[in-house]
């Protein structure tokens, strides 16, 4: 028996024009971007070649004598990330409930909650770190606050989406049976959201570890401070060791975090 393949759908002229229009628009955007940026491409290429021969070999020759100092700074970075992530995971819970339509049953409150979360997410971690360094001084606590506030916006948004996707039939059945608000919260809502809340909090910790490695550049503590000193002193061997430690630690944390999140979800 001979198989007959279904006829291929012909792309309409309108779709072809649209696709080509999008392609040309993107090409023009790239051309305009690079044409308006004041870059001396010849000088940039020369410096890249010179730095490659001068810097790259030193990065691959780590200064192992500095391992104690680098590891101590990396541990401080992990403390900053963990404390900030924990604070964010707690602060994001009430904001997540506020931004969830099915929890507040009020469009005004939900919109207000979403505005708060959007406003918090608008600030990059480095900007927050600079603000908190000015507010509390150049120390790791500034980094903790920067991570906590920066992560709250993302976690609050994810938490609200989890809350809006729960099975409301359970909640409605408990309401019909006479359960009060506290009983509904602890027996109808929380059991549905705990796994995903924990998964998102752990995932955010992964991100915060990477973000914390750079906060020291603006005085917020952690291994970023050593990066700044190594760059200022042109100590590329120590910089190579710092980068190696960051890569190894972040890779291990990502692997462990992924395994934990798979088990939770």
The values of phi and psi at residue 51, to 5°, are: -65, -35
Tally of CB atoms within 10 A around 243: 18
Contact in structure between 171 and 188 (CB atoms under 8 Å)? yes
Euclidean distance between CA atoms 8 and 20, whole angstroms? 21
Q: Which two tokens stand for residue 119?
A: 């406003």
Q: Which two tokens stand for residue 60?
A: 């691959």
Residue matched to tokens 């404390």: 83
Write the DSSP symbol of residue 138.
S
Euclidean distance between CA atoms 70 and 246, whole angstroms? 10
Euclidean distance between CA atoms 217 and 204, whole angstroms? 21
Q: Profile the chain (265 residues) by mean pLDDT over runs of 10 residues.
A: 56 79 90 78 75 78 88 92 93 92 88 91 88 89 92 93 88 85 86 89 90 85 86 87 91 88 78
Burial group, residue 53, by CB count within 10 angstroms (0-12, 13-18, 19+): exposed
Q: Where are the alpha helices (DSSP H) in the chain?
A: 13-36, 41-54, 56-59, 67-99, 101-104, 107-121, 125-136, 140-164, 168-176, 181-184, 190-215, 224-232, 236-264
Q: What is the pLDDT of residue 189?
A: 87
Euclidean distance between CA atoms 234 and 36, whole angstroms? 32
Write the DSSP symbol of residue 2.
-
Burial group, residue 164, by CB count within 10 angstroms (0-12, 13-18, 19+): middle
């Amino acid at each position: 028996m001979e198989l007959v393949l279904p006829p291929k759908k012909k792309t309409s002229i309108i779709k072809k024009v649209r696709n080509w229009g999008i392609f040309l628009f993107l090409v023009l955007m790239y051309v305009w971007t690079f044409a308006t940026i004041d870059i001396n491409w010849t000088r940039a290429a020369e410096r890249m070649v010179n730095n490659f021969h001068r810097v790259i070999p030193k990065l691959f020759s780590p200064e192992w004598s500095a391992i104690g100092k680098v590891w101590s700074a990396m541990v401080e970075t992990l403390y900053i990330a963990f404390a900030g992530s924990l604070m964010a995971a707690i602060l994001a819970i009430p904001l997540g409930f506020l931004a969830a339509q099915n929890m507040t049953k009020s469009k005004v409150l939900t919109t207000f909650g979403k505005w708060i979360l959007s406003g918090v997410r608008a600030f990059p971690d480095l900007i927050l770190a600079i603000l908190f360094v000015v507010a509390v001084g150049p120390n790791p606590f500034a980094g903790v606050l920067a991570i906590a506030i920066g992560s709250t916006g993302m976690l609050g948004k994810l938490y609200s989406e989890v809350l809006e996707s729960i099975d409301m039939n359970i909640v409605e059945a408990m309401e019909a049976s006479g359960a009060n608000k506290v009983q509904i919260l602890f027996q109808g809502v929380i059991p549905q959201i705990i796994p995903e809340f924990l998964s998102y909090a752990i995932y955010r910790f992964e991100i915060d570890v990477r973000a914390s490695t750079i906060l020291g550049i603006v005085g917020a503590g952690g291994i970023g401070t050593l990066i700044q000193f190594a760059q200022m002193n042109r100590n590329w061997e120590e910089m190579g060791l710092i980068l190696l430690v960051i890569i190894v630690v972040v890779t291990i944390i990502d692997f462990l975090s992924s395994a934990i999140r798979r088990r939770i979800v």
